[in-house]
Amino acid sequence: EPEVTQTPSHQVTQMGQEVILRCVPISNHLYFYWYRQILGQKVEFLVSFYNNEISEKSEIFDDQFSVERPDGSNFTLKIRSTKLEDSAMYFCASSERSGLGSTDTQYFGPGTRLTVL
């Protein structure tokens, strides 16, 4: 069964450093998302991406964050200067379609646990 993959599984970084989290969405999916989950809290939307551009971003997704699809398979989330409060599990998701009336089910990767020291 196709699945979303993410690397690394765990990233430890110093405050102020840049990190890049990588995702490989399901191959025939065209819509990509990043979510995060701070320990003990709910999963929160960060950004959606389609056709090489951001479709929507949440208030969490400030100028420190950026996303990119550098090639035909990878989808990355960059945090330019990490803060302590960026420590969380970051989940990538993808969906096959997103048309009116469709279910556009989003499938999640296993996540990257980011720890900022």
Residues that bind another protein (CB under 8 A): 31, 33, 35, 41-45, 48, 50, 55-56, 89, 91, 93, 95, 98-100, 103-111, 113
55 vs 74 by CB, closer to another protein? 55
| C-alpha torsion angle, residues 13, 88, 94, 50 (rounded to 10) | -70
Q: How far is the CB of 77 from another protein (least distance, A)?
A: 15
93 vs 116 by CB, closer to another protein? 93
What is the β-pairing status of strands 53-57 and 112-116? unpaired
Amino acid making up residue 24: V
2 vs 16 by CB, closer to another protein? 2
Q: Are 31 and 50 in contact (CB under 8 A)?
A: yes
CA angle, corner 74, sides to 70 and 77, nearest 5? 80
17 vs 44 by CB, closer to another protein? 44
Place of tokens 């599990």: 89
Q: How far is the CB of 45 from another protein (least distance, A)?
A: 5
